[in-house]
Amino acid sequence: MNYQVCNRCVMDNITDNTIYFDEKGYCNYCNEAFRAKDKVYFPGEEGQTYFDHMMLKIKKEGQGLKYDCIMGFSGGLDSSYLAYLASKYKLRILAIHVDDGFNSPVAIDNIKKLSEACSIDVVVEKPDREQFCNLTAAFIRAGVPNIAIPQDNLILSYLHKYAKKNKIRYFLSGGNFSLECILQKGNTHSALDKIHIIDINKRFGNASIDKLQLISSFERKISNKVLFNIQEERPLNYILYQKEKAISELKAFCDFNYYGGKHYESILTKFIQVYYLPKKFKVDKRKSHFSSLIVSGQMTRDHALAELKKPLYDEFEMEKDLEYILDCLNISKGEFYSIMSEVPHKHDEYKISPWIHISRLNRKIRGY
């Protein structure tokens, strides 16, 4: 197969068998994103009106309760900017942070600065260190791409737990179209697939995971929709959300510091994106991130192509991060490099919850 890169964004067919191109040389990713744009992203006056209404509604329905809403708090850009905006409307936010041992110093500092500036209550949960590291190591040994599933599942589980405990009806998600409208397919899998998590740990783990508060897609949907009526909102889809503007505003507001790349606030997530995925799967996540910025008008294609020529990481810094991660996961360098040289595996090669198949079908029907 001949190499081809999209003529409009920077997605290519290096390791992606789901990409295809039309007669203009435009790929299915940006075609789908542009078709969806007017349906899910409202950066104009209409969106701002809806955003205002949403904030006021959440505040009104929170009367009589300690908190109006709940959200995850990583110290990253999306959640930080969302918390900053929500605090302008005097929303009483309960922020949940999962300290899994892989926080970057910048993220920790950002959480402290923003929570103090916005008077946000932050609950810090620390999952069982040994079991969490063992489970993450099991995913690496399984050779699958999304080894952040244990990390992501736990934050969703704790959000669910504290929403129920405090009778909070609204979960504010930092998920957004502007910076995340394109994501290469085939390298992701739902973090809510508890069956998948248990199967991989059974095959490749060295310890029980009984102390980890995991949650399944079924548990979350039934509990959120039926029992507790918890609604998820994505407020950043109703404003003109621009990366550089958000960083600048947060810097002026509380001396927020950016950490260099999408989701680099976590040492583990940074390692996955700049080392694990490129080395083992030949996947450069910057292509998805830059393509999203192209679709939302924040980056030119030429600029993106120039940025992609730059190294993914600093060698010295990555060596330091790798040593720390492997030490935490109790994986020797010899075993790690052996794993990295083995044939990659897909998530579908292991047990998958039937609910995940249903979710995939629903997304296919929706078209985005």
User: Which ranges of the chain would DSSP assign to H, the alpha helix?
Assistant: 28-40, 45-61, 77-88, 105-118, 129-142, 149-165, 177-180, 194-204, 217-221, 243-254, 267-271, 285-295, 301-308, 315-329, 333-341, 354-366
If we measure between CA atoms, which residue out of 189, 176, 179 comes closest to residue 148? Answer: 189
Helix (H, G, I), strand (E, B) or coil at 296: coil
Q: What is the pLDDT of residue 364?
A: 62
Residue 33 in domain: no
Q: Is residue 106 part of a domain?
A: yes
Q: What are phi and psi of 123, to 5 degrees?
A: -100, 125
pLDDT single digits (tens) 131-144: 999 999 999 999 99
Instruction: Compute φ and ψ for 6, nearest 5 degrees.
Output: -60, 140
343 Cβ contact partners less than 8 Å away, ≥ 6 residues apart: 143
Q: Residue 233 belongs to what domain range?
A: 43-358
Vertex 176: Cα angle to 189 and 12 (nearest 5)? 60
Query: pLDDT digits over 234-258, tens only?
Result: 999 999 999 999 999 999 999 999 9
What CATH number has the domain bearing residue 301?
Answer: 3.40.50.620
Does 312 fall in a domain? Answer: yes
Residue 97 lies in a domain: yes
Long-range contacts for 123-127 (Cβ within 8 Å, ≥24 apart)? 123/94, 123/95, 123/96, 123/97, 123/158, 123/162, 124/97, 124/98, 124/99, 125/96, 125/97, 125/98, 125/99, 125/154, 125/158, 126/98, 126/99, 126/100, 127/98, 127/100, 127/154, 127/211, 127/212, 127/213
In this predicted structure, what is the pLDDT of residue 261? 76
Maximum pairwise Cα distance, the chain: 62
b/e map of 105-126 (b: 16 or more CB within 10 Å)?
A: ebbebbbebbbebbebebbebe
In a domain, 34, yes or no: no
**Whole-model pTM?**
0.94
What's the rounded Cα separation, in Å, for the pair 272 and 217? Answer: 24
On whether residue 15 sits in a domain, the answer given is no
In total, the chain counts a number of residues equal to 368
Mean predicted lDDT score pLDDT of the chain = 94
Helix (H, G, I), strand (E, B) or coil at 23: coil
pLDDT given at position 40: 96
The verdict on residue 365 lying in a domain is: no
Judged by phi (left if over 0) then psi (alpha if -120 to 50, else beta), residue 223 lies in alpha
List 232's β-bridge partners, or say none: 171
Total number of domains in the chain: 1
Q: Burial, 306: exposed, middle or buried (Cβ in 10 Å; 0-12, 13-18, 19+)?
A: exposed
Please tell me what DSSP assigns to residue 280: I
Total Cβ atoms within 10 A of residue 17: 9
217 belongs to a structural domain: yes
First to last CA, the chain: 27
Q: Cα–Cα distances in Å, from 78 out to 40, 75, 178, 236?
A: 17, 9, 11, 8
Q: What is the pLDDT along the chain (368 residues), one digit of tens a residue?
A: 789 999 999 999 998 889 999 999 999 999 999 999 999 999 999 999 999 999 999 999 999 999 999 999 999 999 999 999 999 999 999 999 999 999 999 999 999 999 999 999 999 999 999 999 999 999 999 999 999 999 999 999 999 999 999 999 999 999 999 999 999 987 889 999 999 999 999 999 999 999 999 999 888 877 776 677 889 999 999 999 999 999 999 999 999 999 887 778 899 999 999 999 999 999 999 999 999 999 999 999 999 999 999 999 989 999 999 999 999 999 999 999 999 999 999 999 999 998 776 666 666 655 55
d(CA 244, CA 25): 29
d(CA 58, CA 30): 33
Q: What gap in Å lies between CA 241 and CA 249, rounded to an integer?
A: 12
Q: Give the H or E element holding residue 171.
A: strand 170-172
- Give the pairing of strands 93-98 and 121-125: parallel
pLDDT, position 187:
84
For residue 298, count CB atoms less than 10 angstroms from its CB and return exposed for 0-12, middle for 13-18, buried for 19 or more. middle
CA atoms in the 13 A half-sphere facing the CB of 304: 25
